[in-house]
Amino acid sequence: MRARHLAAALLALQALLAHAADLPAPPAAAAAAAAAANDNDDGGAYLSLAFGNGRIHGGNASGERWMRGRTFEVRAGRQQDDVFGHVLPPDWRLRVDFVHYNEGHPDNNHRDGFALQWLAVHRLSHVWTAELGAGPYLSMNTTEIGGRQIDDARLGLLLGAGLRLAVPGPPGTHLRLGYNHVAMRSVHRSDALVLGFGRQFGPAEPAPDVVPDGHLWVGGTIGTSITNMAGTSGAHAGVIETRTYADRWGVGAKYLFEGDDGARVDRRGVAGQVWYVQPVTPRFCMSAGVGPYVAANRRDDNRKATNLLITFQAERALSARTRAIVNFNRVKTFRKTNDRDLFQFGLLRRF
C-alpha cells in the first residue's frame, strides 16, 4: 500500500486531537505530577498513531526481510471497566481497538490490513500502563507469484503488547511503545516494534445541539484513489452518500466514482455500510464502516462484481446541520487483483 497521503493526514489529525481540549502548560516543577495525572483510564475513546520497523520470516519471505522503516499503525478504540456486566479489578480495564496496520515494505511483500483487537489494560503506576491484546486481522498483501502480481487476502491473528508512559499535555496523553506479531497460516509471519503518541479520552457524549440521531444526512466527499498494483497512476475520486444514525450505530449508502488509474481500474458503483460510532469529544467522533460494494469496471468491459468496502472515518460537528468528515476507504475485491485505497474529505448536511 502506498501510505504517504494517509500517514500525513493522520499526523495532522493527531495534532488537532492533541489540542482539542488543550490545557495551559504546567510549571516545570509540576510537570511530573501533571504527567502522572494525564494517563486517564476512566473510559471513553482511545486514539494512537505509531511508526516503527520490523522483520518478516517463514512462509513466502525472501530477499530483504526487514520492513525498511515503513511500518505504522493507527488505533481507534473504546475502553470499559466491565466484561459482560462483571466489573474488572481495580487498575484493570478492557479496550477494543479498530486497527489499521501496515507491515512495511520487505521484498515482494507489501502487506497491510485491518484488525479488531481486544486488549487487557493494566495500570502499573501513576505514569506506567501495560497492554496485552489479540484479535482477528484481515490482511491484503501485494506480491508477485510465478511472474504474476496479485493482491493476496488472508485472515490471520494480530497479537500485541504495549507500554505507555504518561507525559505532560491534555489529560490522557502518553507515549506508547508497541510490539506486534502477525500469525498467518501458509505465508510469512512478522514481528515489529512501533513508537508513537496516544491519548485516552474520558467519557463523552455528543453535545445536545449536535446529536445526529433520527435525521437523514446527505453529503459528498472528494479526494484521491490509489490502485495497489504496479504500473498504475493515482486518480481523482468522489463519493456521494446518505446516512442515518441511532446512538452508537449508523447505516448508509454510497455511490463511488473511483477514478481512472490509466491501466487497470476505472470503477464506479453502489455500496451499503453499517457503522459503529465512538464519540471522542462532544463535537468530535471516530467511526468505522463495512459493507458490500457492487461496482462495474470500465477497464474490464464494464464487468460487475461484488466487493467489500471498509471505511475508517473522523467526523467533526460544525453545527447542528453540518458535519465535516475525513475518511480512508479500502476496496477489497477478493479476486487477487485491483484492490484500491481512497482518501476523501467533505461534508454531510442534515435534512
Q: Using one digit for the tens of pLDDT, what is the confidence trace for 1-11?
A: 444 444 444 44
Residues 179 and 212 in one domain: no
Residues 250 and 307 in one domain: yes
Supply the pLDDT for residue 36.
44
Residues 30 and 60 in one domain: yes
Residues 191 and 125 in one domain: yes
Q: Cell triple for residue 14? A: 493527531
| Residue 19 burial by Cβ neighbours in a 10 Å radius (0-12, 13-18, 19+) | exposed
Domain termination site, one of 147, 180, 200:
200
> Rounded distance, CA 140 to CA 98, Å?
16
Residues 95 and 221 in one domain: no
Residues 123 and 237 in one domain: no
Residues 196 and 213 in one domain: no
Q: Which of 101, 104, 106 is nearest to 61 (CA)?
A: 106
Domain termination site, one of 169, 200, 231:
200
Supply the pLDDT for residue 299.
96
Domain termination site, one of 200, 230, 256:
200
HSE at residue 15, side-chain half, CA atoms within 13 A, is 6
> pTM (2 decimals)?
0.88
Name the residue with cell 505530577.
33
Residues 144 and 56 in one domain: yes
For residue 331, what is the domain's CATH number? 2.40.160.20
Q: What value does the CA radius of gyration of the chain take, rounded to a whole number of Å? A: 21
Residues 26 and 173 in one domain: yes
**Total domains, the chain:** 2
Residue type, 127: V
Supply the pLDDT for residue 83.
87
Residues 65 and 133 in one domain: yes
Residues 190 and 225 in one domain: no
Residues 65 and 103 in one domain: yes
> Rounded distance, CA 348 to CA 322, Å?
6
Contacts of 300 (CB under 8 A, 6+ apart): none
Where the chain has pLDDT below 50, the residues are 1-37, 39
> Rounded distance, CA 238 to CA 223, Å?
6
Supply the pLDDT for residue 82.
86
Q: For the chain, give the secondary structure using H, E and C.
A: CCCHHHHHHHHHHHHHHHCCCCCCCCCHHHHHHHHHHCCCCCCEEEEEEEEEEEEEECCCCCCCCECCCCEEEEEEEEEECEECCEECCCCEEEEEEEEEEEECCCCCCEEEEEEEEEEEEEECCCCEEEEEEEEEEEEEEEEEECCEEEEEEEEEEEEEEEEEEECCCCCCEEEEEEEEEEECCCCCEEEEEEEEEEEECCCCCCCHHHCCCCCEEEEEEEEEEEECCCCCCCEEEEEEEEEEEECCEEEEEEEEEEEECCCCCEEEEEEEEEEEEEEEECCEEEEEEEEEEEEEEHHHCCEEEEEEEEEEEEEEECCCCEEEEEEEEEEECCCCCCCEEEEEEEEEEEC
CB 171 within 8 A of CB 40: yes
Q: Are strands 189-200 and 173-183 parallel, antiparallel or unpaired?
A: antiparallel
- Residue 210 φ/ψ, nearest 5 degrees: -130, 20
The boundaries of the domain holding residue 133 are 4-200
Task: Check the CA dihedral 91-96-98-101 and report its sign.
Answer: positive
Q: Are strands 235-246 and 82-83 parallel, antiparallel or unpaired?
A: unpaired
